[in-house]
Structure 1
Amino acid sequence: MGTISVFVYLPECTGDHVQQQPEGVIATEGGLVTLSCQYNTSANNNAYLFWYKQEENDFPKHMLTRFSFGSGDNAGGFKGRFDASLNAKTQSVPLTIQRLQLSDSALYYCALQPTVAGNLCTLYKNL
């Protein structure tokens, strides 16, 4: 069994923003991991949250979308082992990855709509 390293991006923002756990997570192949994502938005009644996966030397890939009303959906390659539930009361949308594989080692981003336009702290952090 191999070791899986999962990292998250931690923005430093005020106003509408997301906050993820500040360090990487080490897990065992075949196990389960849950990555936290707390959000704060002025549109609490209609929040849209996204999870992205970025592998080394690659661009972020959209994994799934969750919103306050309805269940959202998972992108094509992220069905089955990947799940998230948006909880508007606690303002969280944790990502759970089951049956971990070595290919799950990556950087994971939680994003709040709007992901760039209107979210200047994220835009400036990525420049």
Structure 2
Amino acid sequence: MLCSSPECKGEDKVMQTSGDVIAAEGDTVTLDCTFETTASNPDLFWYKQEVNIFPEYILRRDPYGTRDNAPEFQKDRFDAELNKPSVPLKIQKLQLSDSAVYYCALRPTVTGNKQGSYLNTTE
């Protein structure tokens, strides 16, 4: 018997709290992301997407302690701790340019996440 439904094999997925996050310039915010996976050593990613621009890679975390950040997203401002089943993104010293939609993603499914967290930074 062949079974290919998600109920049979377990489904990898990420979930983010919906709704807008409004914060002032200079503040610190934490964007939540929880995940379910059958992988024993999952890689979790965060991306930033501005209007009409492709998503930008921010960082990757894994259970081995990898702390890889893209050069333009320095760890002193953008950080995340992988603590199964969550990988919240902490953004410090907010800037107006941080306003965007933020997505977390799980490899190998990349993203089954249709809803990101919208961060609106105000002066």
Scaled by the length of structure 1, what TM-score is found? 0.76
- RMSD of aligned alpha carbons: 1.9
Match of 2:119 in 1: none
Structure 2 counterpart of 1:86, one-letter code: L
Distance 2:50 2:35 in 1: 24
Classify the secondary structure of the residue corresponding to 1:92: coil
Among 42, 47, 62, the residue aligned to 1:47: 42
Q: Give the SS at the match of 2:83.
A: coil
| Residue correspondences, number | 105
Does structure 1 residue 65 correspond to structure 2 residue 49? no
For 1:40 and 1:115, how far apart are their aligned partners in 2? Answer: 11
Offset, 1:72: 2.5
The answer to whether the aligner puts 1:23 opposite 2:11 as a matched pair is no
1:1-127 aligned within 5 A: 15-43=11-39, 45-79=40-74, 80-88=76-84, 91-116=85-110, 122=112
Partners of 2:72 and 2:43 lie apart in 1 by 20
User: Which residue number corresponds to residue 3 of structure 2?
Assistant: none
> How big is each residue's C-alpha offset from its partner over 1:27-55, in whole Å with a ceiling of 9 and x where there is no partner?
11100000000000001x30110000001
Q: Which has the larger radius of gyration?
A: 2
Secondary structure of 1:22's aligned partner:
coil
Is this contact kept in 1: 2:12–2:109, CA < 8 A? no
Q: What residue identity is the alignment partner of 1:92? A: S
Runs of 5+ in structure 2 lacking a partner?
1-9, 115-123
Instruction: Judge conservation of contact 2:48–2:101 (CA < 8 Å) in 1.
Output: yes
SS at match of 1:76: coil
Q: Which moved more, 1:63-72 or 1:105-114?
A: 63-72
Stretches of structure 1 lacking an aligned partner (at least 5 in a row): 1-13
SS for the counterpart of 1:103 is helix
Distance 2:22 2:82 in 1: 24
Percent of residue pairs bearing the same amino acid type:
58
Partner of 1:3: none
**Structure 2 length normalisation: TM-score?**
0.79
